[in-house]
Amino acid sequence: MPYKEFNIEKVFYSIGEVAEKFDLPTSTLRYWEQEFSILKPKRNRKGTRFYTKKDIETLELIFHLVKERGMTLKGAKQKIRENKDELDSTQQVVRKLQHIRSLLVRIREEM
C-alpha cells in the first residue's frame, strides 16, 4: 500500500513565514497592517504577530492589487471598500486555478 501524503496546515503563522511566502520584507507587512483596517493579525502579550489563514487571504488580495496590478495603497483601499465580496470570489477562483495548475504540472512531471 503506497504512502499517502497529507498536508498539515498550521493555525498561526509568524510574520517571518508570511513575509517569506510573499517575498516581502516584514516592514511592508507591518505597514500594510497600519494602512488596511481589514488586516488584523492576532498578537500575544509581547506584541508578536500571528497570522491566520484568513489574514493570509487578505494579504493575498492586498498583494494582488498593489504588487501585481500596480495600484496605489489608496486605490487598493478604495477598491476593497467598494467591491470586497467580488474581490474575494475572484481570489477564490484564482487560488483554485493555481491549485489545478500545480496538480497538472506535478502529473506532467510524473509521466
Q: Per-residue pLDDT tens for 19-71?
A: 999 999 999 999 999 999 889 999 999 999 999 998 998 898 899 889 988 99
Could you tell me the residue ranges of all domains in the chain? 13-110
Confidence of residue 1 (pLDDT cuts 50, 70, 90): very low
pLDDT at 2: 52
10 Å Cβ neighbour count for 61? Answer: 22
End-to-end CA distance of the chain: 21
The sheet with strand 49-51 has its strands ordered as: 13-14, 49-51, 42-43
Chain segment 69-111, per-residue pLDDT in tens:
899 999 999 988 887 667 767 777 777 888 898 899 988 888 8
Distances (CA, A) of 40 to 19, 31, 53, 58, 78: 15, 12, 12, 10, 18
Residue 4 C-alpha cell reads as 499517502
| The total number of residues written for the chain in this structure | 111
DSSP 102: H
Return the CATH class of domain 13-110: mainly alpha
